[in-house]
Structure 1
Amino acid sequence: MRIIAGTAGRIAIKVPPAVTRPTTDFVRQAVFSILGERVGAARVLDLYAGSGALGLEALSRGAKSCTFVEEHRQAVKVIAENLTKARLEGGHAVKSEVAPFLKRDAGSYDLIFADPPYWKYHGDKDHITELLQSGLLPPRLAAGGWLIVEVSSHKTSPVADEFSLVARREYGNSAILIYAKSLDS
């Protein structure tokens, strides 16, 4: 894996063993093509960060800051190593589960990435639906901000009263969902 573009473009990044499905270069390129100029000077939150590929890409493309939230200790260490190797400033990795982090965080973010383990089988935890319906995200998303979610292309787009689906794009087995705050919330 590598950072695709920006100041750290083409730099290879490590993927921690705990991460079984990092966002592919192709999907990341597509996401950042959609985001375009929204990335410049953005405050970014990368939930379920894994290797940090999405947040690293954002920093490389001019984001002001990125907070990486990951529950696996080894992954947090790898994110820190990737930040150092890529010489990217403004990144901070936090070892935490997502819900407890969101409960104690007071930040406001222009872009929030969420790429949890996919819901595959009946009985699996559906991280995205749970996250969208928790009420924890709206206070963290700045006015005009976007929530960018990666799910299996076989999954329908989850809904929540506080969010409106702006776009859904499918790339092989992955689907990218872009949400904005609903006008009512």
Structure 2
Amino acid sequence: MRIVGGSLRGLKLAELGEGDLAAHLRPTTDRVRESIFNLLVNGSHGNPVPGARVLDLFAGTGALGLEALSRGAARVAFVDEGTRARALIRANVERARAMGATDLWRRDATRLGQNRGAGFTLVFLDPPYGQGRGEAAIASALAGGWIAPGAMIVWEESRPPVVPAPLVQIDQRRYGDSIVTLARMPDA
């Protein structure tokens, strides 16, 4: 796995191999990550990446959040409760020399609690496939004030997710076994 664009383009990330199914680690492939960022950057909805405050839920290896940093995001908060995932994220943040622009939280993404800071303007959501945890995490993020007005949500799943109000689905694409859904939080 490598960062596919931006200032860190070509940076090799820590190896996971084919994934760690026991830990529910299934990294987004370079090709799908590149497609996601092409949708974000070139879409008719405006490029949400430059200056973004990014929330990477079920962060896994941290590749999506680091890709956003590479492309101009201001800060990334990685959320994962898995020990193996957090070790990979720490290793990848160190490789990217991004310690000053990242936070790593050991937390269940489906029970985020109340956000004590500013809302996030770009949210990546890559839950274990087929378990309904994405819907629970989005409900938790909305209830806790984690999602800023006008924020973009990028949701990767094995099936089309149920996008809850007030979020509005704006695009959906299939890449192999993955379905990527883009949704937007209405402006205040």
TM-score normalized by structure 1?
0.86
Contact (CA 8 Å) 2:52, 2:120: kept in 1 or not? yes
CA distance, structure 1, for counterparts of residue 105 and residue 59 of structure 2: 10
Q: Does the C-alpha gap of structure 1 residues 71 and 15 become closer, same or farther in structure 2, counting only changes over 3 Å?
A: farther
What is the aligned counterpart of 1:151 among 148, 154, 157?
A: 157
Q: Please say if 1:161 is aligned against 2:165.
A: yes
Superposition map of 1:15-164 within 5 A: 15-16=15-16, 17=20, 18-36=23-41, 37-88=47-98, 89-100=100-111, 102-107=112-117, 108-119=119-130, 125-132=131-138, 134=139, 136-137=141-142, 139-152=145-158, 155-164=159-168
Which runs of 4 or more aligned residues in structure 1 lie more than 6 Å from their structure 2 counterparts after TM superposition?
A: none
Contact (CA 8 Å) 1:111, 1:146: kept in 2 or not? yes
**Structure 1 unaligned spans of 5+:** 120-124
Q: Which residue of 2 aligns with 1:122?
A: none
Cα drift, residue 135 of structure 1: 5.0
Cα drift, residue 129 of structure 1: 2.4
CA distance, structure 2, for counterparts of residue 39 and residue 161 of structure 1: 23
Q: Which residue of 1 aligns with 2:44?
A: none
Cα drift, residue 175 of structure 1: 0.8
Cα drift, residue 34 of structure 1: 1.4
Paired residues in the alignment total 175
Secondary structure of the structure 1 residue equivalent to 2:172: strand
Contact (CA 8 Å) 2:3, 2:9: kept in 1 or not? yes
Cα drift, residue 15 of structure 1: 4.5
CA distance, structure 2, for counterparts of residue 182 and residue 135 of structure 1: 17
Identity rate, percent: 35
Superposition RMSD on alpha carbons, in Å? Answer: 1.9
